[in-house]
A and B are shown apart, each in its own frame.
Chain A
Amino acid sequence: MTGIRIALTGNPNVGKTTLFNALTGSRQHVGNWPGVTVEKKTGRIDWNGHAIDVIDLPGTYSLTAYSADEVVARDYIIDENPDVVVQVVDATNLERNLYLTTQLAELGVPVVIALNMADAAEAGGYAIDREKLSALLAIPVVRTVGTRGEGLDGLLDAAIREAETSPHHEHTVGYGNDAEAMIASIVDVLSADKDLTKRYPLRWLAVRLLEGDENALAKIRDSPAFTGVQALLSGIDPDEYEAAMADRRYEMIAAVLPQVRTAGAGGMNVSEMVDRVVTDRYLGIPIFLALMWGAFELTFAVAAPFVALIEAGLAWLSATVAGSIEPGWLASLVGDGIIGGVGAVLVFVPNIFILFLILSFLDDTGYLARAAFIMDRLMYAIGLPGKAFIPMLIGFGCNVPGIMAARTIEGEKDRLITILVNPFISCSARLPVYILFAGAFFGAGAGGVVFLLYILGIAAAIGSAKLFRHTILPGESSPFIMEMPPYRLPTAWTSLLHMWSRGAMYVRKAGTIILVGALVVWCLASLPFGVDYGSSASLAGALGHLLEPLVAPLGFDWKIAVALLFGFVAKEVVVGSLGVLYGTGEGGDALSMALLADPGLSAATALALMIFVLLYTPCLATIATIRKETGSWRWAGFSVAYGLVLAWLLALIVGHIASLFLGGA
């Protein structure tokens, strides 16, 4: 059995990931590319006696790198020498897709084209002559429909054939006499360096050097040929060559297209008509808000029965554990610690998965790209690109995938700011705290209070973004360019997969970080041995008393200090901890009554508490994610400190103002 490495590349939005999923099924491994926060997906296929590793590269428009994604894609193809590169091409958008093909051909790697979305092209009236295209480009072209798994066998056969053929043909763009003479002289100088000759195709390197690509220049910096090349390039204007050469590539493509494609009916298509409405300067934002409101309404409506089911299951499990495990401390560890802690997170799984399913659906239809465009002007005002609103939107479900979604943002400073303000977006884990306190202290006005908390969270995010932009991360937000893919009706399967890839992060968080946190909480509340769980005499109680002076100005006593401390693990834990501390058990009306009856708590204190919970660190998993995504503990620590200070200040101010109107505090 021989091993073959296939690198899957292509423009963004061509169905590359869908094709990858169809090829590899469940045999995938998701990791990170070393040193960067770009997801690395690999999969293994056994095919006719070949062990094939498929590497899904990030989408890229060209082999010149602009964002971290593109650098990964380019470096893999250039430096890792995959046996064959499969370029996934959107059959409805040949012209732009073939630009990347011309660059791949120049690189001299064996290429196979997967002419994907072939069904959409045919439905749009395009007939593409694959054999002719293949002959003109000297590249095998295979028809595929990733969403239905069509053409996969043919694609694998062609890829293996190409990988095993050597030497394969190269068919590169001719750049005209002037440029070709320059390329020839550069190749001549470069060929003196045998080491370089082994590593890179010299024609490709020469073309890149002539275009003035800094990366190509860096590759030859240590070569003895460097000074020679510099001398050749000194007299010319690389910008002029660059424009002329890009033009040549498109001319070549323009010469190929009419020979292989019979165009369908032109004119204004459906996507364009929809865009006229949804991106309208007046209608765009109301439509967006209505859709988002609908998404959240639908989420809570659909999730409610599932939540009830999980709650019932957990209650049954706790009761069973309490009755059947000896000794008592072990029952408490399993019941209060593990089931209570992890259960508090699991209860949100239906909400989060359904919200992600709706967002994935909107993303897959192409609407979210439009929403980013609509939001760009608003986001620009706060110093962020339009794309930054997608992480925020996801943050309403859970900050962990929200922060991860910031990966698509190109500018490093833009990305950092987007990450740092995400914790202020009120995730669904904070809702039970609001429901408990707003419900107990604000009665009929509870809904309004909760709504205002969400608005306050958004305002804190916007204000902080502006603050960061003017202080620690100065600069302009990077220019916004985003492809508007044609509207498509996603299949249930692709939306579900998409949902799973986001939602799984949340489940993993419940399974790992929250579990550890819950165990720590349990230990603090149970030690030293013999104390009542979570009582004043426990370690937790001692910590609470220690912290009490810090939160006393806000009107919080030691019990709340303990609950907030435990809330670092996850915000849901605040409610559970209070249940333990007030001796009323997990949530429910008993806890509301106990809180109302506490003379130390007033409506103003409750408001201050909710604001504190909104603004301080959402959970351990968020801190860990910020650490991972920014690559430094410094930013994670900054986020925690900044959140605490902001939470403390706003809770103090609002609490005092509210006490003037509401009395108490």
Chain B
Amino acid sequence: MDPICPLALLSAGTEATIAEVRAGKEMRFRLAGMGLCPGARVRAQCVDRGSLIVSVGDARYALSRGIAMKILVGEPEAA
């Protein structure tokens, strides 16, 4: 799957699949432990100028714009 856009650009209520995480190794390991790794299905809940709350499975995380720009997702679709 080709990366389409950063997670930060999703609008509230849309779902997408993570295609790539462009962060350092340690950060990628940590994100994988949290369920934020390529192939994971994420849903944007609350979006505020690039910072957002996403749900992955039963977990929810708040991400700042900085990190949300480094997580690339595939084609977003309305949930």
Contacts A373-B53, A480-B66, A482-B62 given; indicate if A243 touches B25 (C-beta within 8 A): no
Minimum CB–CB distance for B77 against chain A, Å: 17
Nearest CB of B to A403, in Å: 24
Chain A residues with CB below 8 A from B46, complex form: 275-276, 279-280
Assess the A99–B60 pair: CB atoms within 8 A. no
By the criterion CB–CB under 8 Å, are B33 and A99 in contact?
yes
A281 part of interface (Cβ distance < 8 Å): yes
Interface presence of A380 (CB below 8 A): yes
The answer on a CB contact under 8 Å between A281 and B27 is no
Fill in one digit per residue for A66-98: 1 if any B CB lies within 8 Å of its CB, else 0: 100010000000000000000000001111100
Q: Does B32 contact A (CB under 8 A)?
A: yes
Q: Which residues of A contact B58 (CB under 8 A)?
A: 92-96
In the bound complex, residues from chain B placing their C-beta under 8 Å from that of A239 are 25
Which residues of B5-52 have CB atoms within 8 Å of chain A's CB atoms?
23, 25-35, 37-40, 45-46, 48-49, 51
Taking CB atoms, residues of chain A closer than 8 Å to B59 are 93, 95-96, 483
Given known pairs A61-B33, A62-B32, A95-B35, the reply for A483 and B26 (CB within 8 Å) is: no
Docked-complex contact A250 and B28, CB < 8 angstroms: no
Which A residue's beta carbon lies closest to that of B35?
A96
What residue of chain B has the Cβ atom nearest to residue A94's Cβ? B58
Which residues of chain B have C-beta atoms less than 8 A from A629's C-beta? Answer: none
A281 touching B48, Cβ below 8 Å: yes
A95 to B: closest C-beta gap in Å: 4
Contact in complex: B40, A250 (CB < 8 Å): yes
Given A386-B64, A480-B66, A484-B62, residue A214 in contact with residue B25 (CB < 8 A)? yes
> Is A275 within 8 A of B64, CB to CB?
no
Q: At the interface, yes or no: A546 with Cβ under 8 Å from chain B?
A: no
**Is chain A's binding surface mostly helix, strand, loop or mixed?**
helix
Write out the residue numbers on chain B whose beta carbons fall within 8 Å of the beta carbon of A93: 57-59
Give the residue name and chain of the B residue nearest to A243 (CB).
B38
Structural contact, B33 and A484, CB atoms closer than 8 A? no
Cross-chain contact B53 with A484 (CB below 8 angstroms):
yes
Q: How far is the CB of A87 from chain B (nearest CB, A)?
A: 13
Residues of B within 8 A of A275 (CB): 45-46, 53, 60
Chain A residues positioned under 8 Å from B40 (CB to CB):
250
Interface contact B48-A279, CB-CB below 8 Å: yes
List the B residue with the shortest CB-CB distance to A103: B33
Q: Which chain B residues border A61 with CB–CB below 8 Å? A: 30, 33-34
Chain B: which residue is nearest A263 at the CB level? B58
Query: Looking at the complex, which one of A70, A276, A377, A483 makes contact with B61 (CB distance below 8 Å)?
Result: A483
> A70 vs B27: C-alpha distance in the bound complex, in angstroms?
12
A-side contacts of B35, CB under 8 Å: 95-96, 99, 250
Query: Assuming the A-B contacts A92-B58, A250-B39, are A376 and B32 also in contact, with contact meaning beta carbons closer than 8 angstroms in the complex?
Result: no
**CA separation between A187 and B34, bound complex, in Å?**
28
- Judged by a CB distance under 8 angstroms, whether A163 is at the interface is no
Interchain CB contact under 8 A, B64 and A484: no
Q: Chain B residues near A369: list those with CB within 8 A.
A: 62
A364-397 interface (Cβ within 8 A of B): 369-370, 372-373, 376-377, 380, 385-386
Q: Who on chain B is nearest to A244 by CB?
A: B38
A370 to B48, CA, bound (A): 13
Q: A93-B57, A243-B38, A275-B53 are in contact. Are A480 and B63 (CB under 8 A)?
A: yes
Contact across chains for A246 and B61 when beta carbons are under 8 A apart: no
CB-based contact B29/A480 at 8 Å: no
Q: A96-B34, A247-B39, A373-B51 are in contact. Are A479 and B61 (CB under 8 A)?
A: no
- Residues in B whose Cβ lies below 8 Å from that of A214: 25-26
Interface size on A, residues (CB 8 A): 49
Q: Give Cα distance in the complex from A211 to B60, angstroms.
A: 26
Query: A481 near B: Cβ within 8 Å?
Result: yes
Q: Which residue of A lies closest to B25 (CB)?
A: A212
Q: Judge if A271 is at the interface, Cβ distance under 8 Å.
A: yes
A480 touching B62, Cβ below 8 Å: yes
Cα–Cα, bound, A570→B19 (Å): 55
> Are A62 and B33 in contact, CB atoms less than 8 angstroms apart?
yes
In the complex, chain B residues whose CB is within 8 Å of the CB of A483: 34, 59-62
| Minimum Cβ distance to chain A for residue B36 (Å) | 8
Q: Which residues of B contact A284 (CB under 8 A)?
A: 48
Most buried by A among B25, B32, B40: B32
Determine whether A297 belongs to the interface, using a CB cutoff of 8 Å to chain B: no
A189 to B46, CA, bound (A): 50
Contact: A96 with B62, CB < 8 Å? Answer: no
| Min CB gap A80→B, angstroms | 21
Tell me the complex Cα distance, A280–B45, Å: 11
Contact B37 A247 (CB under 8 A): yes
Q: Which residues of A contact B28 (CB under 8 A)?
A: 242-243
Could you say which residues of chain B place their CB within 8 Å of the CB of A246?
A: 32, 37-38
Q: A284 vs B60: C-alpha distance in the bound complex, in angstroms?
A: 18
* A213 interface hit (Cβ, 8 Å): yes
Chain A, residue nearest B23 (CB): A479
Across the interface, name the chain B residue whose C-beta is closest to A376. B64
Residue of B nearest to A373 (CB): B62
Q: Bound complex: CA of A147 vs CA of B25, how far in Å?
A: 37
Complex Cα–Cα for A62 and B27 (A)? 11
Instruction: Kindly identify which residue among A247, A280, A479, A484 contacts B67, using a CB–CB cutoff of 8 Å.
Output: A479
Chain A residues numbered 212-240 whose CB sits less than 8 Å from any CB in chain B: 212-214, 239
Alpha-carbon distance between A394 and B33 when the two chains are bound, in angstroms? 30
Whether, in the assembled complex, A406 has its beta carbon less than 8 Å from a beta carbon of chain B, the answer is no
Contacts of A481 in B (CB 8 A): 30-31, 34, 61-64, 67
Q: Which chain B residues lie closer than 8 Å to A482 at the CB level? A: 61-62
Q: A64 on the interface (CB 8 Å rule)? A: yes
Instruction: Tell me if A376 and B62 are in contact (CB < 8 A).
Output: yes
Complex-state Cα separation, A117 to B54, whole angstroms: 22
- The answer to whether A614 has its CB under 8 Å from any CB of chain B is no
Q: Is the CB of A479 within 8 A of B66?
A: yes
Q: Provide the bound-state CA to CA distance between A92 and B66, in Å.
A: 29
**A54 CB, min distance to chain B CBs, angstroms:** 24
B61–A281 CB distance below 8 A: no
A–B complex contacts, Cβ < 8 Å, 23 sampled: A61-B34, A62-B33, A66-B29, A92-B58, A94-B58, A96-B33, A96-B58, A100-B33, A213-B29, A239-B25, A242-B28, A242-B29, A246-B38, A247-B37, A247-B39, A279-B53, A370-B62, A372-B62, A376-B51, A377-B48, A479-B66, A481-B61, A482-B62
What are the 10 A-B residue pairs with the smallest beta carbon separation, nearest first? A62-B33, A61-B33, A64-B29, A480-B64, A479-B67, A373-B62, A246-B32, A95-B57, A66-B30, A93-B58
Which B residues have a C-beta under 8 Å from some C-beta of A? 23, 25-35, 37-40, 45-46, 48-49, 51, 53, 55-64, 66-67, 70
Q: Given A275-B46, A480-B63, list of 18 further CB < 8 A pairs?
A: A60-B33, A64-B33, A66-B26, A70-B30, A95-B57, A239-B25, A243-B38, A246-B32, A246-B37, A271-B60, A276-B45, A279-B48, A373-B62, A479-B64, A479-B67, A479-B70, A481-B34, A481-B63
